[in-house]
Amino acid sequence: MYCSRWLPVVIQLLLWCSTAPVHGIPPRDPVQCNNTSCALYNSYGPWGDRKDCDVKTVAYPTTEEELRSAVAYANKNKLKLKVVSKFSHTIPKLACPPSQNSMLISTAKYDSRIDIDSANLAVTADAGVALRELIDKVEEAGLSLVAAPYWEGVSVAGMITTGAHGSSWWGNGGAAHDHVVGISMIVPANQSEGYAKVIQIGAQDQLLNAAKVSLGTLGVISKVKFSLEKGFKRSITYNFTDDGLIENNFMEHGKKYEFGDITWYPSKHTAVYRYDGRVPVDTPGDGVNDFLGFRSNEIPISQSVRTSEKLFESTKSVNGKCTLAATTLAYKKLIANGLKNNGMIFTGFPVVGRQGKMQTSGSCLYSPAARIDASCAWDPRIKGLFFYESTAIFTVPKFGDFIKDVRKLRDIKPENFCGIDHYNGIMIRYIKASSAYLGQPEDSVVIDFNYYRADDASTPRLNEDVMEEVEQMAFFKYGARPHWAKNRNLAFLNVRSKYPNFNKFIAAKKQLDPENMLSGEWSDEILFGTGNVTSDGCALEGLCICSEDRHCSPSKGYFCKPGLVYTEARVCRYSAPSSSNL
């Protein structure tokens, strides 16, 4: 609607917007089987290494007892075991079972029970329950779940076990697992106990610190109990402003607003401050946060955005990327990123609505049967968007210096950041210190940034060097911790040294899973950072840090060079052939 009035048609095609409310095809089942075998995919299609995850056996339990017997079957037959939800929205290959002697459990059908205990402000849900279903049930009972990721396409167990978070330094903080007060977990047991048993881990048990964030490697989560609060409302205002003082403002912003965040668009010298906090429940407003990036897009629009990105990549058109970035940002500003005052349209700030409608979104997940011409923009069946996601978690004292370094890199040539800004810029959120061994050991600030990924592994990206420098600065100069459910393999190098309680987690794992039934080569790459390869082109895919030109793409003019601001970084940089004197 706004689109057609305001923007030239050509530009509309480049935007993630459409002229009518759109619903669409739901994501495909992540487990795909043919007559001979099955494979597990993530929601984007290819894994980080672009190799398929082959699966021999998949079990679909519907009850806790069926889940327990599936674990018992694996243990009795000495099979390695992994679990995946109906979503498989985790980007690293964590849920992939080892290639030999293994099986997969899907919780797709273990998703029916949601038990609310209003008197004690708590809810207990089956591991496979979708976050949206949990939230809707809780809100119907007049209660609210305080923390959740911004994306609602996650299962209860998948969400907590990777440390998924929204944004908050208040109360128990913005990470879902920090609101967990109990877990039922199924662990291997001896023959006389039936090969697998259910253990109840309560709020006071030390073991909960290991079990909350465990990357699916400690035991199979059967049920999760969350603490709740009385239902509440929030009020959101976005301030699109200058990016000059992020390093001075971020602390105060996080302290002042319970659900604040900041999105930085470096190429546009713009920062968007989200003023977001609770208001009394009788405040008028029935707002909805329907974030633009998580809405259904008409398939031809997603495809044409991809086509134009590919064109700008192949012609090295920084300006083309900047046009995309500028129009996307202008549109986001116009529609307040997707906030709707009355559930239909944005009419002005502040937008006030119930917690259950404001914290998390993902309307591209749902499909009324009527429309089959729209989907999530990244659906691998449509050849739409395809991108990487880097997420780095900083200790507070280091974050300001990181921002200053990125600004220096930006100032060399702001246009180099257009590829990042076309996605969601650099999103800055807050995570509170956690008692989880693999959670954040102290109050932290987390950044996310997305960027183009080529259709094939050997094609470098435009401004590859800039994105790699920011990535290496974050993880190696400033020692940021990687989000367990995002990132490319290099981000996990040396990760165990970044978690002071890592060894306590390993000790708990030895106790519950002494035979390492729930480990495997793929989850080891993440948990232990063992995914360091040195193949040709490995740096293009984030599978290594380049140390030789062949790790980049010499044939396409990309060579391994030092960073421009962080000179210890080693990045793949394009140099025009020497005959050109530019």
Ligand X SMILES: Cc1cc2nc3c(=O)[nH]c(=O)nc-3n(C[C@H](O)[C@H](O)[C@H](O)COP(=O)(O)OP(=O)(O)OC[C@H]3O[C@@H](n4cnc5c(N)ncnc54)[C@H](O)[C@@H]3O)c2cc1C
User: Footprint of ligand NAG on this chain (CB under 6 A)?
Assistant: 34-37, 39, 52, 54, 190, 192-193, 239, 241, 493-494, 532, 534, 547
Size of the site for ligand X (CB under 6 A): 30
Q: Residue 89 binds which one of ligand X, ligand NAG, none, with CB within 5 to 8 A depending on kind?
A: ligand X
- Alpha carbon distances (Å) from 257 to 169, 171, 253, 519: 9, 12, 6, 40
**Quick one: how many helices (H) and strands (E) in the chain?**
15, 27
Residue 42, beta-bridge partner list: 45
Q: Residue 493 binds which one of ligand X, ligand NAG, none, with CB within 5 to 8 A depending on kind?
A: ligand NAG
Interface region with ligand X, contact rule CB under 6 A, candidates 113-121, 151-159, 494-502, 548-556: 151-159
Encoded tokens for 570:
């080693």
Question: At its nearest, how many Å lie between ligand X and the CB of residue 150?
Answer: 4
Which of 12, 18, 75, 90 touches ligand X (CB under 6 A)? 90
Element (DSSP H or E) covering residue 272: strand 270-279
Letter for the amino acid at 503? N
Using CB under 6 A, which residues numbered 43 to 62 contact ligand X? Answer: 43
Of residues 98 and 554, the one with the C-beta less far from ligand X: 98
- Contact between 40 and ligand X per CB under 6 A: no
Which of 157, 358, 447, 490 touches ligand X (CB under 6 A)? 157
- Give Dmax (Cα) for the chain: 77
Of residues 77 and 497, the one with the C-beta less far from ligand NAG: 497
- Alpha carbon distances (Å) from 123 to 113, 156, 282: 10, 11, 25
- Contact between 428 and ligand X per CB under 6 A: no
Q: Residue 201 binds which one of ligand NAG, ligand X, none, with CB within 5 to 8 A depending on kind?
A: none
**Distance between CA 38 and CA 394 in Å, rounded?**
39
Other C-beta atoms lying within 10 Å of the C-beta of residue 248? 11
Of residues 63 and 534, the one with the C-beta less far from ligand X: 63
Three-class SS of 84-96: ECCCCCCCCCCCC
- Residue at shortest CB range from ligand NAG: 39
Q: Residue 34 binds which one of ligand NAG, ligand X, none, with CB within 5 to 8 A depending on kind?
A: ligand NAG
**Distance between CA 324 and CA 318 in Å, rounded?**
10
Interface region with ligand X, contact rule CB under 6 A, candidates 212-220, 265-273, 500-508, 548-556: 212-220
Of residues 193 and 455, the one with the C-beta less far from ligand NAG: 193
Question: At its nearest, how many Å lie between ligand NAG and the CB of residue 532?
Answer: 4
- Alpha carbon distances (Å) from 101 to 42, 72, 97: 22, 15, 9
Binding mask 461-490 for ligand X (x = CB under 6 A): ------------------------x-----
- Residue at shortest CB range from ligand X: 158
Using CB under 6 A, which residues numbered 114 to 143 contact ligand X? Answer: 127
Closest CA to 238 of 349, 357, 352, 360: 349
Of residues 43 and 472, the one with the C-beta less far from ligand X: 43
**Distance between CA 53 and CA 528 in Å, rounded?**
20
Assess contact for 559 and 466: CB atoms under 8 A: no
**Distance between CA 410 and CA 413 in Å, rounded?**
6
**Distance between CA 423 and CA 309 in Å, rounded?**
11
Letter for the amino acid at 348? G
Element (DSSP H or E) covering residue 300: helix 299-314
Binding mask 323-362 for ligand X (x = CB under 6 A): ----------------------------------------
Which of 71, 215, 339, 544 touches ligand X (CB under 6 A)? 215
Which of 221, 358, 462, 539 touches ligand X (CB under 6 A)? 221
**Distance between CA 497 and CA 493 in Å, rounded?**
9
Q: Residue 157 binds which one of ligand X, ligand NAG, none, with CB within 5 to 8 A depending on kind?
A: ligand X
Question: At its nearest, how many Å lie between ligand X and the CB of residue 21?
Answer: 20
Assess contact for 246 and 262: CB atoms under 8 A: yes
Which of 107, 124, 267, 337 touches ligand X (CB under 6 A)? 107
Write the burial class of residue 491 (CB in 10 Å: 0-12 exposed, 13-18 middle, 19+ buried): buried
Where along the sequence are the contacts to ligand X (CB under 6 A)? 43, 82-85, 87-90, 94-95, 107, 127, 149-151, 154-155, 157-159, 161-162, 164-165, 215-216, 220-221, 485
